[in-house]
């Protein structure tokens, strides 16, 4: 059944009641919230209580700089009705492609391992912004650290010939052993394919292609389909179209072309200039309903696949 949503509802009046209802039991598997080294719109305890009030199941805490596994355990204990999951991003602050960091995070209960994001080789050009240029908060931090004499080297995952490095393979083996989720982070197109193929060979069961529409990824529909044939899910983040990095229409068409079953919704929210984190998933649901996706398709992307990423039993 297709439910029409008034065109203005998603952005001018907030999420619809129906969108909220459809998110019962859903997870947001990609949020950036406080405490963090850059300003965030909300802290983790407050967000957990908001999720509880909305009937959402939980969220995955992402930091570009540290493991969030211990934090997640504390928040889950404080708000037991909401399951908060930790993660680790393999940036330079935790040693880059560091299998020990993954091993420790796994033993502490982490669920997701993001490959390099802010410190990926693919993003290294962003640090060369001219003085006074408007840059993302993470680039601003990089530049501040550089001024203090702290130079952060990019984290490679492949060699000059495009083959995955031994340390990359060791990380993938650790992810497979603990049955964690591999998220591809801000890798470039060729790096993504090399890492995904190596992950499949190592026995990694859950692979998420991080925001494939993001400018530093910008994967074609053909590439996205090729990755789904390898068993990967395609992450559809709210912030990518909301901040104008891609048109909503193209975002919608990419989902349509690759299939709802292969897409998982998340928000990537937490920035102080963006909507409340707890609204992001519902705003996406309204967009999808408005575009003609039926409620079962929405449930697949927003609930079933988010619960798959969170290793929660499907409702």
The answer to whether the beta carbons of residues 37 and 67 sit under 8 Å apart is no
Residue 237 confidence class, pLDDT cut points 50, 70, 90: very high
Is the pLDDT reported for residue 298 higher than 60?
A: yes
pLDDT in tens, 111-121: 999 999 999 99
- The fraction of the chain above a pLDDT of 90, given in percent, is 85
Average pLDDT for the chain: 93
Is the pLDDT reported for residue 145 higher than 90?
A: no
pLDDT in tens, 184-218: 999 999 999 999 999 999 999 999 999 999 999 99
Overall average pLDDT of the 267-275 stretch: 97
Is the pLDDT reported for residue 9 higher than 80?
A: no
What pLDDT shows up at residue 124?
A: 87
Which regions of the chain does DSSP assign to beta strands (E)?
A: 27-31, 58-61, 83-85, 87-89, 112-114, 181-183, 206-209, 233-237, 263-266
The answer to whether the beta carbons of residues 194 and 160 sit under 8 Å apart is no
Residues 6+ apart with CB under 8 A from 122: 186, 187, 188, 191, 216
What pLDDT shows up at residue 4?
A: 35
What pLDDT shows up at residue 130?
A: 65
- Taken as a whole, the chain contains a residue count of 315
pLDDT in tens, 35-88: 999 999 999 999 999 999 999 999 999 999 999 999 999 999 999 999 999 999
Overall average pLDDT of the 242-254 stretch: 97
Distance CA(206)–CA(261), nearest Å, equals: 14
φ, ψ (nearest 5 deg) of residue 147 = -65, -25
Distance CA(246)–CA(216), nearest Å, equals: 12
Distance of CA 160 to the CA centre of its chain: 27
Distance CA(315)–CA(312), nearest Å, equals: 9
Distance CA(208)–CA(112), nearest Å, equals: 10
């Amino acid at each position: 059944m297709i439910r029409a949503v008034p065109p203005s509802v998603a952005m001018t009046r907030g999420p619809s009641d129906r969108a909220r209802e459809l998110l019962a039991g859903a997870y947001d598997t990609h949020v950036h919230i406080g405490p963090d080294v850059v300003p965030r719109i909300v802290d983790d305890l407050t967000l957990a209580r908001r999720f509880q009030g909305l009937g959402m199941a939980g969220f995955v805490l992402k930091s570009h700089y540290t493991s969030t596994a211990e934090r997640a355990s504390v928040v889950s204990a404080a708000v037991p009705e909401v399951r908060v999951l930790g993660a680790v991003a393999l940036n330079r602050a935790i040693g880059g492609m560091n299998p020990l960091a993954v091993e420790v995070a796994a033993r502490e209960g982490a669920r997701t391992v993001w490959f390099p994001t802010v410190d990926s080789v693919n993003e290294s050009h962003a640090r060369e912004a001219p003085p006074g240029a408007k840059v993302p908060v993470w680039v601003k931090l990089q530049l501040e650290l550089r001024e203090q004499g702290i130079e952060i080297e990019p984290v490679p995952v492949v060699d000059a010939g495009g083959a995955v490095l031994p340390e990359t393979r060791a990380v993938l083996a650790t992810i497979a052993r603990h049955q964690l989720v591999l998220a591809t982070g801000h890798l470039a197109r060729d790096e993504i394919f090399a890492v995904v193929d190596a992950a499949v060979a190592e026995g990694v069961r859950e692979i998420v292609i991080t925001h494939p529409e993001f400018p530093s990824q910008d994967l074609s529909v053909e590439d996205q389909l090729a990755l789904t044939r390898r068993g990967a899910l395609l992450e559809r983040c709210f912030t990518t179209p909301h901040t104008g990095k891609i048109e909503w229409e193209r975002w919608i068409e990419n989902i349509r072309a690759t299939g709802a079953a292969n897409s998982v919704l998340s928000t990537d929210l937490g920035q102080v200039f963006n909507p409340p984190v707890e609204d992001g998933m519902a705003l996406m649901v309204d967009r999808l309903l408005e575009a003609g996706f039926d409620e079962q398709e929405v449930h697949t992307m927003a609930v079933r696949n988010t619960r798959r990423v969170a290793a929660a039993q499907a409702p």
